[in-house]
Amino acid sequence: MDHDSYWKEKDRLNAKLKELYPRMFRFIGHEARMPIRLGLECGSGWYPILTDLFKDMSKYPVVIHQVKEKFGGLRVYWQEDGPMSEKDHQAVHDLVAKAEDRCWRTCENCGAEGQLVVANGWRYTHCDLCKDTDGWKERDALLEKLRAEGKLLTPYELMFGKDDDYIRKG
């Protein structure tokens, strides 16, 4: 995916998150001052996990400040956005912990079963196919080839499905 396509896809994804969860993602987008202005700072292989997490978190008064990959794992930074019982706070904490745990076993690039990989001092959670590619350009070329062949969804489709009106509902 070239630079312009990457940012166009990211803007589309951010707009949809803001539309679906206006309270939780009110800081997303270029106008925001918080770190979430960049949107999701992780690979699209984790998007289905995040879709489930955001749907579950939306039941609580929370705001998300940042979602990113760090040291090969998922990090979700959030805070209460109104009165919340200790039980509800713990429930949100548990939801985030469960999503973070799932990401340790899921390839950040393509969503296949993965494991932590250390390469050149960097930590990633990748599947066997993605960990064997040499650098980002080769990996991106592989992912684009799989998308063109219909074997892998775009980042937006991974989050929301192929039909623009489709939203995962439990």
Q: Pick the closest to residue 35 from 7, 65, 14 (CA basis).
A: 65
Q: Pick the closest to residue 46 from 99, 5, 95, 4 (CA basis).
A: 99
DSSP SS3 for 70:
strand
Q: What is the pTM of this model?
A: 0.77
| Backbone CA torsion sign across 146, 149, 152, 157 | positive
For residue range 103-116, list pLDDT tens digits in order: 999 999 888 999 99
**Tokens read off for 61:** 């008064």
Q: What is the pLDDT of residue 147?
A: 76
Q: Pick the closest to residue 40 from 149, 161, 148, 156 (CA basis).
A: 156
Statement: residue 135 has pLDDT above 70: no
Name the percent of the chain lying above pLDDT 90.
33
